[in-house]
Every structure is written in structure tokens, then in C-alpha cells.
Structure 1
Amino acid sequence: MAKTGQTVAELMLHQLSLYGVKRIYGVVGDATFGLIDALAGQDEIEFIACKHESTAAFMASAEAKLTGGLGVCTATMGPGATNLLNGLGDAHADRAPVLALTGQAPTDKIGTAFPQFINQQDLVKPFAAYSANLASPDAALDLLEKAVGTALGQRAVTHLSVPKDLFMANASAKPRPLPDVIEGASVFTEESLESAAAVMKSAKRPMILAGSGAAGAAQDLQKLAESWGAGILASLGGKGLVEDDSPHMLQGIGEGGNPHASDLFKEADVVLLAGTTWWPEGHVPTDARVIQIDPHFNQIEKNIPVEIGITGKAEEVLPILADSLEGFSRSDDWMRRCRDVKEKWATQNEQEGGTEGFPVHPSRIMRALDRTVAPDAVLALDTGDNTVWTNRNFRQKNQTTVFSGYWRTMGFGLPAAMAAKLVSPDKQVVAIVGDGGLQMVLADLLTATRYGLNITVVVLNNGSLQMEVDKLKVLGAKGTGTDLTNPDFVKLAEACGWKAFRPGSDDELEPVLEQALHSDGPSLVDIRTAREFFPETE
């Protein structure tokens, strides 16, 4: 059937391009044929065809986390929409702005026994801050504007389902040029932050817990720590914000963090949270006065005993707090204890990284990575034993880390690495994954091949769901199903058009990693990894 005029799908794509969308991740299905046809007829937005819808949603989530902009994924109705849910759950949990566009049954079949029909608004309700079904071509822009505005304004997941006939229906509206937006800084003064400064000045044992939300305020973070005499602990997303040679930087906290920092942190009497909602139970003080800085404070639902919440960006607030603390009488004893904890862990970390043997100890793998990975690389972490060993032993510099923070889904690493390379093609991108997590998304090795994505996937291959093994051991419980039936990852990757490597000893780690990292096209390093009990398992 010949088209006349602009379709709803074409109109929506044009509007999304005005919002800055460069890519849509998805899998083709018949309920989205109108959208696929429109994507094929333009060159402003690239369609990234994935092997599985969960990968598409993971990639959209990772892009949103890395850029702060809108990530977009698409799927057909029924099983396609259902398969998006894991990635949408990840975006929801980590407050990443993601829009899901799904096909729906034709308008005259909605609510019937039409194949694959399901009420999609009910389906996505746990994850989506806004979800609507398009009922008229004339409403397309209004719904899209609401969905995008909600996603970006609330850093949330939103969703639009579009009946397959409406994607291809004629649209009379025109794309709406975006207004010139002048974004002013929040108005903070020493007077407006006086109550927070007063609490901070009462501290004898101050501590800062920083996360990725403080990325634009690294120097201010360091200055504040110096003025206040505070130690700095980091969530996984905040590692690398402050140089390791700073006497205030104690590295991570929680499972996989500095194992000596928890006891010190529990003694803190005033804690400043900057750009993080990380508050790991069992590692935090129970009676400290807590100040939290977050631009979306009214949306924070984590169980943090906050006394003063400051709604704003870290870069707007930290400089003023630092100035307010000029002349503050710091505790030399507290700083000495912070330095002792820092030095004790630095020595132990170095020793752990030198562990010899084959299969290779996970700490030794992390030492090889921090010697070979570019200082400004993007690291995409899967969820599992690889995450905690990376957090524990990888000595992060200026690398950017993307991971599944609160959803903690396996299978995130490879999709996140592919999205990172599309977003930053000039950056080195390295995925650190376990064998279990990689097997969940193996088909999408071919997505990296299809789009020529020069990424490196490092597989910690111990033939086991080792994190679950460790936790079962702690519980004194029996386990079954934790041993993995692994393919030959090298042969499989090569069959998918990748270059693949397998070091034969711990001495070969660095040379093999260097070879993989400097290969053209996607590369995989399969490392036989020792089944080591993680020492901080809870």
C-alpha cells in the first residue's frame, strides 16, 4: 500500500532526533513494521539490530547512564515487549532515562484474544514512571513529549505502545522545534547551606561517600576533604574521581571495597553523601549525622537516615561547603587513622595482585588489567564474582565504569560495552564478565561483529556461578546447579568473527591482554580463573 504524507512513525523519529537521539536498539517484529520502515527511510537515527530484546534494553540503559541523555529501545508486542523488562528494570533501578517504544495489536483488536496481545501498561507498571497507549495519530507528539520529558526530568523509564496500524497511519502534525533552554545553576549561598555547614563543623570524625553523581565536582570534592579533614570513600561508580595518591582517598566501601574501611566508617560521626545513594548495610555507621546532596532528592527511596537533604548538583554545592569550612579545626588523629587504613589496604592490595598460580587468581587478573587498560578507558562490568573482584583489586585511574548497580542483573557487561563503543568510538572499551553472565547474551557477540565494534571482552572463566557458591557456603547450605557447562569461548568467539585469546599461564596475562586490546575489531580473552572464595562474602 502506497504511503501518502508523513506517517506517525516518521513523525516520532523526526521528533526524537530533535531530542538528540542517535540510536534506537531493538529487534524487528511485525507490530513495529511501520517504525522499522521509517527507520530504514532516514539517516538521522541508527537502528541497532540486536539478537535479543533484553540486550537492546541493556544497551539503551547503558547509553543513558554514560551520557545522561535519553536511551531508546524498541520491540514488538507480546514476547518482544516482555523481553525488554530486564533491561528496563536495570534502567529503573539506576535512574537512567530510557524510553521503550513497543508495537501493539491493531486498534480494532486491542482487548481481544488477538495473538500476542497483552495490556502493556500493566506489564511495565513496576518500572515505568509513565506509560501510555497511542489511540490516535493526532496524539502522537503529545504522548512522545510527555514520555521524553518525564524520562529526562525524573531520570526514569517511560513507555509508549503504538498499535501497528497507527505506526503507519498518516500524521498531520509537524515536529516541534525544541526551545532554547537556558539552564541556570541552583542558587546556593553560604547562608542557605548554613545548617549543613553547622552540622559538618560539629564533626570529629568526618567522612565523605562519593558516587558517579559527583563526577563534575572531583576537584571540589578533594578541596572539601582537605578543608574538613575527611576521608573519602567511593561507591563503585565513584571510583577514580579522586586520584589514588590523595591521602584522603580510601577507595571503595561495601562488598569488594577496602576491607579495612568499614570499621573506620562505622565510627564516623558526620557523613556527607555526594552523588550517590549507596548505603551498604553492615558497612555504615548507625548513629552518624548524614547530609546528602542529590539533584533528585525527592525521588530517593533508599533507606538512608538523612538528617539534611540538599536538592542540587554536587558541583553547585561542594564549593560553597568547602568555603564555609575554611579555618575548620581538623582532627589530626582522625586523618592519621584514615591514612593508616589507606596504607594498610594499598600494601595488601599489591600483595594480592601478585598472587601466583594457574588457573589464575582473580586478584592477579585485576592487577594485569590495571597495568594494561588505558587510563581513560570505559569499563563495562557484568554482575557476579567479576564485579566484586574488580571493585576490590582494580586500581582505577580515570576510567569510566558502567554497571548494573541496584538491579544487579547478569548479562549486562557485553551489551553495555557495545553501547559504550557506539557512544564513544574513540575510547578503549573493555567488558569484564564472568562465564555465567556472558552465556546469557552469547548470541549478541554477533551484534558487535555486525557493527564492527572494537571492544575487548575479558572472561573470568571458572566454570561456576562462584558468587552463589560462596554465599551458599556462608549459609552452610547445599547447592546444585552452580557448575556451568561452558563452551569453548575462544572457538565460539572466532566463529562469530572475533579475535580470541587464551593465556596459558599467569605470566602470559599482560602480553595476551595487550594483544587483545590493540586488535582491530572485537576481541575476547578467555582466562582460566581459580575458584577462590571471595573474602568479603556476606
Structure 2
Amino acid sequence: MSTVAEMTVDALATYGVTSAWGVVGDALNPITDAIRRDERIEWIGVRHEEVAAFAAGAQAQLTGRLGLCMGTVGPGSIHLLNGLYDAKKSHAPVLAICGQVPTEEIGSSFFQEVNNDVLFSDVAVFAQTVTSANQMPQLLEQAVNAAMAHQGVAVLTIPGDVGGLELGKDARAPQFAPAPAESAAPQTQLAGAAKVLNEAETVTLLVGQGAREARAEVLQLADRLQAPMVLTLKAKEGLEEDNQFQVGQTGLIGNPGAAKALDDADVIFLVGTDFPYRDWYPEGKTVIQLDMRAEHIGRRTQVQHALVGHVCPTLQALLPELTGGRSDKHLHKALKSYSSWVDRQHRLTDPDHDRSLLGKIRSIADNPDERIRPEAVAAALNRHAASDAIFTSDTGMSTVWLSRFITLSGRRRLLGSYNLGSMANAMPQSLGAQALDRDRQVIACCGDGGLMMLLGDLRTAVTYDLPATFVVFNNGRLGMVKLEQEQGGLPEFGTQLDNPVIAAVATAMGLKGLRVTSPDDLDEAVKEALATRAPVLLEVVTNPDEVSLPPKPTVGEAWGFAIAKSKEIIESR
């Protein structure tokens, strides 16, 4: 015979769960004790439950398997919410096991009592409380099946007095549902899309993470249509390297080549993407959208032709219906614009850039203190990182530099809070990634604001021997907020951060701490950090005034920068 807790842990371990993230305490004690006695699941005790949820979500995104995090009664479970919302918006299957007050006290406003079923009702595809051993394993099966089927969050609340209850003699082992098979869009949808594509003079592809497993088919599609391929940030992984059709990203982190490719197209074909920024979809275009989720069709821009199915089998069925032989003029115009922009950007990565005549002129305005340009940091990481490195990035400027200067070549992977847009995600996601494989290189590109928010869990890397590399772009700012304020013509306010020497803090916490303040020392410091097979933090003091211009800056934005800068100079004087 076994208890509810023992059955739950055994079933999850058998299902393939290898890590459990959380903070121990009261109602979770039966569960964590069962984990202690089962060597198949590693318990990783974090300092903040938000880190647990981010780490579990990272593991789910990297493996496609169920991630597991835990929070105890009341506040412990509440702390999971932000990381769980990130998992929801990233379509990551995560099970959160939450504690609850004793069953006889439920509904009495007992100490720390929170109604978890209500609390998690928006973030979770399944949220139920176990109040009897007889409800198991059915509720566990429903929770796991819902998380996997919907690629989302399931919350199972287990009161402390229920976790230790023994199951009946006839209790069966849990049986989880298999994954559904991939399917193509129906022929009637394919015929309509093929007709439009064959008749179009110019086509541009906007390709998202839903196409990452269909690389060969997407490249054939671009070749057949002679179409430039705009990649979302998540699609860089698997589709960026050796792709003669790709023109980088669109949106605020994008470039003029991608913007031109979209603007000049007669037809825009959205392939496996739910790119959310409406302002970056050009108007007056014929739009085809291919997505496995019907609810995604048309929610960002008006779609004339929908293809509801998985990318790989749908493109395999569509390609034979497409004619070739069209002009490559549209493709080459976009590629030329993109290539020119890339060349201009990479000049900034040269340590001697600000010593050249043009560099000196530019730096008077945007780098008077001769700080390290963040572009150079990202470029150095790209040069020296392993071909199978996993990168995570904090929301904001860290993501901008990663998207522009780090190529996801080989088997490199990428994680970030790219749908929720949370701060402080890079470090906890890197912990989750590193726990999957301690021999694989994991690099967290952290903003100083983000890292300081959950700083305590740097120690988790030391405690559990997670040899991640934490690279901190320390510009003493909430950089993206500063940019937003200046775009609107406002002087920066409230964005300056009074940071300690972060590398020294890391050293005090047991990591190897490195700090770089000169461009001449950057390359060697990056190589040293990445060669260290122990938790290491590299703090790089970067230029706070580095401007990331959008692909199509407007007159209003330019005027806003001018007004903001004049106000800042006047006030600083």
C-alpha cells in the first residue's frame, strides 16, 4: 500500500519528471518526503517560489516534457504565479503541486488559507483540490493530461492531511494519455492558399516557433516562392543558421530589411507564429495563416486564408501544389537591406570603434563615459559560446542585443519571457536548463535590474552545483523603460539603479565573480567565464545611453528623443 504522496511522486517519476522545484514546508511535507525517498526526482530547493516556476517552465520548453514546481500553503503558492503565467503564455506544460490547510479548516479563513482553485483559475487549464484519497489517481491523471494536451499549467492542491492518507487496496496506478498525432490542414484549405500563393507576385514569410521542427519544409517553401523569411525571436532557434532566405526579426527589436520585406509583399504567409504586435503588421495585404491552434487564427491581423494544422505535415501537403519560376527581385531587395544593416551594427562590436574618427563623433552623444557597448558583449558571447549552448535572456535590452548578435547555430537553444515579458526570468530559467544537463553550457544574459530582483537564487546555483554562466549587462538602468520614456519625449525618471558591485556580491555568495570595465578586457573575460565549469557571474559595465532604434523610426520618435535628451542635459546641468 502507498500514500497519496507516494503514488503521486512515483507516477510523475515514471512519467519522466526529473526535477522538482520549490520551497519545503508544512502541507508539502508528505510530498517532499516521498521525493526524498525516490532517487529518480531531484529536489531543488529555491529561495523564492517564482524561481521554481520559471525553472520548471524552462525545463518543459526545452524538453517538451512535464515540468514540476511546488508551493506550500498560501504565500508559498502565491509566489508561483508570475512564473506560471510565463509558462501559460509560452505554452509550456507545467504541473504545480500546492499545499493547503487541513481539510477540516478549508473555508474557515484559517491561518495562511488561500482558495487555490480560484487563485489559479486564470493561469491554469486545470485547478482542483484533492480532499479524499479516493479521488486519486483520477485527479492526478486529469491534471497531467490537461497540462500536456493544452501545453499549459495545471494546479493540483493537496492539503497536508490528505498527502499522507493511504490509498485503498484496489487503487490502480495512474495512466496518462499519449500525445496526439500531428495532422495537416484539410485539402479545401490547402487549395485556397495554393491559389493565392501561385498568383501572388511577391510573398513574404513570417515564421514562428511552430515551424522549428519543419526546417526543411520551410526552406523549400521560401525557395519555391522566392520569399524573404522574417523570423520571430523564438524561431531563430533551428531556422537562423545556414538560411539564405532569412532577414532577421521585425518589431521593436527588428531591422529595416525585415520591415521592407513585409511592406513590399503582396501576400504575407504566417507560418506557425502568433507574433503579437499588431502595429508591425502592414495593412492592405492578403494574409495566409498556418497554425495548429484555430483560436490563434486572425487574432493579430485580418486573415483571408486560414490553414489549421501542424506546420510540417501541412507544408508537405502544400508544397506539391505550388509553382516555381518566379522572380527573385523581392527576395534580393530585402536581403540587401538586411545585410547592409547587419554590417552597420557589427561595427559597434569592435573594441576600437569609439577610437575611430566616426566612433569618437558618435560617442560624444551616446557614450561620453567610454563604457563598453552592449553589442560587443553579445558578439563576444556569440564567438566563444559552445555550438550547443543554451541562452536565456532577461526582458528588455538584454534581449535586443541577444537577438541581433547571437546566432543560434548548431544545437543552440534560446529561452526568455518573450510572451509575458516578465523581469528577472533569465537567471531562474538558466537554473532549470542547467539541471537538465550539468555538462551542457548554459548562459544567462541578465539585466542588472532583473538579476537584482531575484538575486538570492544565485546561491541555488552553488548549492546544487549548477555551473551556469550569468552575464550581467550592468548599465545602472532599467534600460527599456528609459528608452520608452525618451521615445515619448520624456526625460528618464526612476530608471537609475544604485547597484552594488554585482561581481563582488556573487563572490560573497560562492560564485566566481568577474567584473569588466574596459573594452580591451572584454574578450578574455568572456572566454574565462565560459571556460569555468562552476557557477560564475560576469559583470560587464555597459553604456547606459546605447540606443536601440526600431526598424522604422518615425519623425515623432526622433523628435521625442531630441526633446528628451535636451531636457536631460538641462536638468543634469
TM-score for the superposition, normalised by structure 1: 0.94
- Cross-structure match for 1:508: 521
Give the secondary-structure state (helix, strand or coil) at the position aligned to 2:248.
strand
- Which of 127, 133, 138 is 1:131 aligned to? 127
Give the secondary-structure state (helix, strand or coil) at the position aligned to 2:269.
strand
- Cross-structure match for 2:142: 146
Q: Percent identity between the aligned chains? A: 34
Question: For 1:375-418, what per-residue CA distance to the aligned partner results, in whole angstroms no more than 9, with x for missing partners?
Answer: 22110111121111222333332321111111110110011111
Matching of residue 488 in structure 1 with residue 504 in structure 2: no
In structure 1, runs of 5+ residues without a counterpart are none
Question: For 1:333-358, what per-residue CA distance to the aligned partner results, in whole angstroms no more than 9, with x for missing partners?
Answer: 21221222232223223223226354
Matches within 5 A, 1:184-203: 184-186=181-183, 193-203=190-200
- Cross-structure match for 1:53: 49
- Cross-structure match for 2:96: 100
- Cross-structure match for 2:563: none
- Cross-structure match for 1:440: 453
Matching of residue 428 in structure 1 with residue 428 in structure 2: no
CA distance in 2, matches of 1:14, 1:371: 43
- Cross-structure match for 2:233: 236
> 1:179 offset after TM fit, Å?
7.2
CA distance in 1, matches of 2:177, 2:140: 19
User: Residues 108 and 182 of structure 1: is their aligned pair in 2 closer, same or farther, counting only changes over 3 Å?
Assistant: closer
CA distance in 1, matches of 2:270, 2:208: 8
Give the secondary-structure state (helix, strand or coil) at the position aligned to 1:433.
strand
> 1:363 offset after TM fit, Å?
1.3
Give the secondary-structure state (helix, strand or coil) at the position aligned to 2:516.
coil
**Comparing 496-505 and 216-225, the one that deviates more:** 496-505
- Which of 20, 27, 38 is 2:23 aligned to? 27
CA distance in 2, matches of 1:300, 1:486: 45
- Cross-structure match for 1:526: 539
- Cross-structure match for 1:304: 301
Matching of residue 373 in structure 1 with residue 370 in structure 2: no
> 1:168 offset after TM fit, Å?
1.0
- Cross-structure match for 1:117: 113
Matching of residue 267 in structure 1 with residue 264 in structure 2: yes
CA distance in 2, matches of 1:157, 1:243: 30
- Which of 341, 347, 353 is 2:349 aligned to? 353
8 Å contact from structure 2 (residues 297, 303) kept in 1 = no
Matches within 5 A, 1:290-329: 290-298=287-295, 302-325=299-322, 327-329=323-325
In structure 2, runs of 5+ residues without a counterpart are 355-369, 558-573
> In the comparison of the two structures, how many residue pairs are matched?
533
User: Residues 298 and 280 of structure 1: is their aligned pair in 2 closer, same or farther, counting only changes over 3 Å?
Assistant: closer
CA distance in 1, matches of 2:219, 2:184: 22
CA distance in 2, matches of 1:182, 1:261: 36
- Whichever structure has more helix as a proportion of its residues is 2
Give the secondary-structure state (helix, strand or coil) at the position aligned to 1:282.
helix
- Which of 253, 256, 270 is 2:253 aligned to? 256
CA distance in 1, matches of 2:515, 2:241: 31
**Comparing 241-250 and 458-467, the one that deviates more:** 241-250
Give the secondary-structure state (helix, strand or coil) at the position aligned to 2:471.
strand
User: Residues 102 and 244 of structure 1: is their aligned pair in 2 closer, same or farther, counting only changes over 3 Å?
Assistant: closer
8 Å contact from structure 1 (residues 359, 528) kept in 2 = yes
CA distance in 2, matches of 1:300, 1:238: 18
User: Residues 528 and 303 of structure 1: is their aligned pair in 2 closer, same or farther, counting only changes over 3 Å?
Assistant: same
TM-score for the superposition, normalised by structure 2: 0.88
User: Residues 410 and 114 of structure 1: is their aligned pair in 2 closer, same or farther, counting only changes over 3 Å?
Assistant: same
User: Residues 80 and 185 of structure 1: is their aligned pair in 2 closer, same or farther, counting only changes over 3 Å?
Assistant: closer
CA distance in 2, matches of 1:213, 1:246: 17
- Which of 472, 487, 494 is 1:459 aligned to? 472
8 Å contact from structure 1 (residues 70, 152) kept in 2 = yes
**Comparing 466-475 and 345-354, the one that deviates more:** 345-354
> 1:272 offset after TM fit, Å?
1.9
8 Å contact from structure 2 (residues 184, 311) kept in 1 = no
Report the aligned-residue RMSD. Answer: 2.1
- Cross-structure match for 1:342: 338
CA distance in 2, matches of 1:475, 1:187: 45
Give the secondary-structure state (helix, strand or coil) at the position aligned to 1:271.
strand
CA distance in 1, matches of 2:307, 2:62: 24
8 Å contact from structure 1 (residues 268, 285) kept in 2 = no
Matches within 5 A, 1:13-24: 13-24=9-20
User: Residues 94 and 184 of structure 1: is their aligned pair in 2 closer, same or farther, counting only changes over 3 Å?
Assistant: closer
User: Residues 434 and 285 of structure 1: is their aligned pair in 2 closer, same or farther, counting only changes over 3 Å?
Assistant: same
Matching of residue 73 in structure 1 with residue 85 in structure 2: no
CA distance in 1, matches of 2:49, 2:174: 31
**Comparing 386-395 and 512-521, the one that deviates more:** 386-395
CA distance in 1, matches of 2:160, 2:460: 26
- Cross-structure match for 2:375: 363
